Amino acid sequence: MRLKDKVAIVTGAAQGFGAGIARRFAEEGAKVMVADLKGDLAAEVAAEIGGASCAVNVADEDSVKAMLAATEEALGPVDILVNNAGVTHLPTPLDEVSEEDFDRVYAVNMKAIYLASKIIVPGMKARGSGAICNISSTAGISPRPNLTWYNASKGWVNTATRSMAVELAPQGIRVNAVNPVAGETPLLTSFMGEDTPEIRSKFLSTIPMGRFTTPKDIADATLFLCSEEAGMVTGMCMTVDGGRCI
β-bridge pairing 80-83 and 52-55? unpaired
pLDDT grade for 183, boundaries at 50, 70 and 90: confident
Q: CA 67 to CA 74: how far, in whole Å?
A: 11
Q: CA 224 to CA 217: how far, in whole Å?
A: 11
C-alpha closest to that of 187 among 42, 54, 89: 89
Q: What is the mean pLDDT of residues 88-109?
A: 97
Q: Each residue of 64-83: pLDDT tens digit?
A: 999 999 999 999 999 999 99
Dihedral angle of Cα 149, 154, 159, 160, to the nearest 10 degrees: 100
Helical axes 112-127 vs 148-168, angle rounded to 10°? 10
Residue 30 phi/psi, 5° resolution?
-75, 150
Residue 157 has pLDDT above 70, yes or no: yes
Which parts of the chain are beta strand (E)? Answer: 7-11, 31-36, 52-55, 80-83, 130-135, 173-180, 237-240
Q: What is the mean pLDDT of residues 127-156?
A: 97
Whether the Cβ atoms of residue 230 and residue 130 lie closer than 8 Å to each other = no
Residue 191 has pLDDT above 70, yes or no: no
pLDDT at site 161? 98
pLDDT at site 92? 95
Q: Each residue of 192-237: pLDDT tens digit?
A: 667 778 888 888 888 999 999 999 999 999 999 999 999 999 999 9
Q: Which element (helix H / strand E) includes 120?
A: helix 112-127
* Percentage of the chain modeled with pLDDT above 90: 89
Average pLDDT, the chain: 95
Q: What is the mean pLDDT of residues 115-126?
A: 98
- Domain 7-240 is in which class? alpha beta
Predicted TM-score of the model (pTM):
0.95
Domain residue ranges of the chain, discontinuous segments joined by +: 7-240
Q: What is the mean pLDDT of residues 176-196?
A: 79
Q: Which residues are catalytic?
A: 150
C-alpha closest to that of 9 among 186, 133, 166: 133
Residues in Cβ contact with 5 at an 8 Å cutoff, skipping those fewer than 6 apart: 29, 30, 31
C-alpha closest to that of 182 among 151, 161, 228: 151
Q: What is the mean pLDDT of residues 123-139?
A: 98
